[in-house]
Amino acid sequence: MDLERKDLGVGTKPALIVVDMIKGFTDPACPLGSDCPDVVSANEALLRAFRHRSLPIFFTTVVYHNNNQARVFRQRIEALNLLTPDSVWVQLDERLTRLPGEELLEKQWASAFHKTDLDARLRRCQVDTLVVTGLTTSGCVRATAVDGLQYDYRVIVPREAVGDRNQGAHEANLHDLQAKYADVVSVADVITCLPDPTD
């Protein structure tokens, strides 16, 4: 039985965190990838809405510069070793072109917060709410959402804007995120709740 909980909604300064929408995860030709055009489209819609309102946008990618980074994680999932600085797989999906002023954060572990300065960047922007999207629901999206709550941000997960190689894991993790850590809502509901661009 799930615990009693309540939605917190969007605060006064939301940021969009686009987690690992990189070619290695959106191209099924990569061992780490899957075919997810609907997730890409949902992220395109959110990017348009955040840009229209001049709200902060952060992209993440996974890059390993040496053999000591995330050593155990890479022993478990050897395909991660493909994510090197000179690899096409670490580049953002070209359908989600990053514009000037939108930050790109390199990470080595699942959470966008772990051993990065994401929290400091968000505090500088006076962010109080994270809209977490991307890939994968059961991995880096979930880890980032949980850590977002642990850093005292409201967390929103738009269900159409996240995806997973395993549909069962996708659904189970959306359920668990909604039960404990985040508001899991539609992309349309997120856009409706964003601050007015004239505010």
**Cα–Cα distance for residue pair 199/45, rounded to 1 Å:** 21
Within-domain flag for 199: no
Nearest Cα residue to 85 out of 113, 108, 102, 109: 108
Write out the H or E segment, with its range, that includes residue 40.
Answer: helix 37-52
Within-domain flag for 4: no
Within-domain flag for 6: no
Nearest Cα residue to 17 out of 52, 48, 43: 43
Active site residue 140: yes
> Which one is catalytic: 30, 36, 140, 193?
140
Within-domain flag for 123: yes
Sorted by sequence, the CB contacts under 8 Å of residue 166 that are 6+ apart come out as 138
Looking at the predicted structure, is the pLDDT value of residue 85 above 70? yes
What's the number of domains the chain is made of?
1
Mean pLDDT of 20-39: 97
Within-domain flag for 117: yes
Within-domain flag for 43: yes
Residue 1 binned pLDDT confidence (cut-offs 50, 70, 90): confident
Residue 4 binned pLDDT confidence (cut-offs 50, 70, 90): confident
**Residue 129 belongs to domain spanning:** 14-193
Amino acid letter, residue 170: H
Within-domain flag for 105: yes
CATH of the domain at 53: 3.40.50.850
Within-domain flag for 52: yes
DSSP code for 179? I
| pTM of the predicted protein model | 0.95
